[in-house]
Structure 1
Amino acid sequence: MPKPPNPTALIAEDEPLLAAALQAELARAWPELRVLSIAGDGHTAVAQALALQPDVLFFDIRMPGLSGLEAAAELAERWPADVNGRAFPALVFVTAYDQYAVQAFEAQAVDYLLKPVQPTRLQKTIEKLQRSGIERRSSASEMEFALETTLARLSTLAAQVAPSEAPASPVTSPPAAPLRTLVCSVPGTLGTKVRMVPVGEVLALDAADKYLRVLTADAEYLIRTPLKDLLPQLDPTAFWQIHRGTVVRAEAIDFVERDESGRLHLRLRGTAERFAVSRLYAPRFRAM
């Protein structure tokens, strides 16, 4: 029987000395592990992980471009659910957060290392990774389900950890009033013509470059307000988020279909466009 290949890892850490120290500790504690690359920011980490498909990811929480949590979520969204490919890598977050955040990591069954990394704690993480082995899914549907589960876990974790990232504020902002009208630019008029679009006419809001597309049954408009700023003012029972950059009117959904790779797409009544459903929001349509 051929010997299984050595496990591989990618380190994402923007401080070179800390990255080198972690790599050295891993070499001492887990000689069989091959560190394929060290990324200095979140975007590079995602690109390298997709290209190299390592078995383990050591992601620093605080990184330029994308945080460790954001990078892991984007990677899970883009990871191919191909039965011939590797399962999603094991995640280990490296953090300087306080005990409350550590409890959040533990609650989501995500492993972590506290800075500065201690050899004894690293050894426990290595033993956990070695016990889990290098996992491969038996079917594309199982891999897709595992990726959806990972994304949901990361989303919950981000919601729990993020508040400790920002300083406490003594002022509590009042909830935003529900949107009734959107002031939209008419494409092709160079901003010289706007239309007041009632929210009741909106079928979808879709991010595109620096703009947000506003789709109605008979036209398309543009606004500059980011979707994340509009979401708190939309009725979540009327508008469903189906992707990081897409919200659709729930009652306008005509049908949802799954392609050969297991990814979901939907069509809306009143528009011929096809919208991708993110893995994070795919469970909403699982019964279908």
Structure 2
Amino acid sequence: MNETVTALVADDEEAPREQLLLALQTAWPELRILARAVNGADAWDAWLEHEPQVCFLDVRMPGLSGIEVAQRIAGRAHVVFVTAHGDHALDAFNTGAVDYVLKPVDGARLAQAVRRVRARLMANANQAPPDLARLLQQLGVQARRPAPLEVIQAGVGREVRLIRVEEVLYFESDTRYTRVVHADGDALIRTPLKELLTQLDPERFWQIHRSVVVNQRCIASALRIDEGSMVITLRGRDERLPVSRHFQGLFRAQ
């Protein structure tokens, strides 16, 4: 391929991450690494920012696992899982739909994975990558998540206010803080939005923009402004919240 291919590398352990980066310099010297992430939340945030074509994801990371990040990417990039655990489910990835490399990374095995990804990139130049979420579902691979967050503690002056998560309308990233908007007002918390995402129930709270997560039960409508722009309205509210193109697929007429 003549076109430069871009990539993301995510691993919460420094030594394996650096070993993989070094091995990639040999196996794929033309590859351009756009981002390095040390956990799943950072990996997802980096993918939204840079949109790399290939992601090398550690399977077990704090916050979001590599599998959860792959499910969020949902066929918009080619994923190679990097894991220290060669359990039977990962054997199915050897079919070529999704690849994986065991730790410690073997140069020959990584080179094989690189050849598969490059072949897929060339073959699917005008097509989307395979739908990882669907494949993982077929393989019966599910991420184990802790119980969703139920209460948020927010400081308002000298008061510590307890806000039930189910009453939150939406979360919005605000520079160093996250704005928590609820029916009775709003509050600022120090927890970054990308960290909150790992604690919220994904069935109830939808990310619609890199900086906005909304309670889907509060959505009244989605309005397409033009081919690339969309906003949503909330029941009983005047705000129009932006929906980035990554998430516009959430709003399709049935």
Same fold, TM exceeding 0.5? yes
Task: Give the deviation of 1:58 after TM superposition.
Answer: 3.4
Q: Is the 8 A contact 2:171 2:179 kept in 1?
A: yes
Task: Give the deviation of 1:286 after TM superposition.
Answer: 1.3
Task: Give the deviation of 1:45 after TM superposition.
Answer: 9.6
Pick aligned residue for 1:133 from 122, 144, 157 = 122
Structure 1: how far apart are the matches of 2:71 and 2:162? 36
Structure 2: how far apart are the matches of 1:153 and 1:132? 19
Pair 1:20-2:22 in alignment: yes
Q: Cα RMSD (Å) of the superposition?
A: 5.2
1:206 matched residue in structure 2: 171
Match for 1:285: what amino acid?
F
Q: State how many pairs are aligned.
A: 234
1:274 matched residue in structure 2: 240
Pair 1:58-2:56 in alignment: yes
Q: Is the 8 A contact 1:9 1:37 kept in 2?
A: yes
Q: Is the 8 A contact 1:56 1:91 kept in 2?
A: yes
2:213 matched residue in structure 1: 246
Pair 1:6–1:203, CA change in 2 (3 A):
closer
Task: Give the deviation of 1:5 after TM superposition.
Answer: 1.7
Greater strand share, 1 or 2?
2
Structure 1 window deviating more from structure 2 (204-213 vs 220-229): it is: 220-229
Pair 1:242–1:101, CA change in 2 (3 A):
same
Q: Is the 8 A contact 2:64 2:198 kept in 1?
A: no
Structure 2: how far apart are the matches of 1:281 and 1:54? 17
Structure 2: how far apart are the matches of 1:191 and 1:128? 55
2:157 matched residue in structure 1: 190
Match for 1:117: what amino acid?
D
Q: Is the 8 A contact 2:6 2:31 kept in 1?
A: yes
Q: Is the 8 A contact 1:95 1:113 kept in 2?
A: yes
Identity %: 26
1:107-146 counterparts in 2 under 5 A? Answer: 109-115=97-103, 116-117=105-106, 119=108, 122-123=111-112, 126-127=115-116, 129-133=118-122, 135-137=124-126, 146=128
TM-score, normalised to structure 1, is 0.54
Match for 2:240: what amino acid?
R
Pick aligned residue for 1:5 from 2, 8, 31 = 2
Q: Secondary structure at the match of 1:133?
A: helix
Q: Is the 8 A contact 1:93 1:113 kept in 2?
A: yes
Structure 2: how far apart are the matches of 1:45 and 1:284? 18
Match for 2:31: what amino acid?
V
Q: Is the 8 A contact 1:257 1:264 kept in 2?
A: yes
Q: Secondary structure at the match of 1:270?
A: coil
Gaps of 5+ in 2: none
Deviations 1:178-216 (A, max 9, x none): x7xx7876x8x50438588896xx471325455561421
Task: Give the deviation of 1:284 after TM superposition.
Answer: 4.4
Q: Secondary structure at the match of 1:260?
A: coil
Q: Is the 8 A contact 1:243 1:278 kept in 2?
A: no
1:35 matched residue in structure 2: 31
Match for 2:5: what amino acid?
T
Structure 1: how far apart are the matches of 2:44 and 2:165? 42
Match for 1:213: what amino acid?
V
Q: Secondary structure at the match of 2:56?
A: strand
Q: Is the 8 A contact 2:233 2:239 kept in 1?
A: yes
1:256 matched residue in structure 2: 222
Bigger Rg, which one: 1
Structure 1: how far apart are the matches of 2:135 and 2:107? 25
Q: Secondary structure at the match of 1:221?
A: strand
Pair 1:129–1:222, CA change in 2 (3 A):
same
Q: Is the 8 A contact 2:79 2:99 kept in 1?
A: yes
Pair 1:222-2:187 in alignment: yes
Q: Secondary structure at the match of 1:97?
A: coil
Q: Is the 8 A contact 2:231 2:241 kept in 1?
A: yes
Structure 1: how far apart are the matches of 2:230 and 2:135? 20
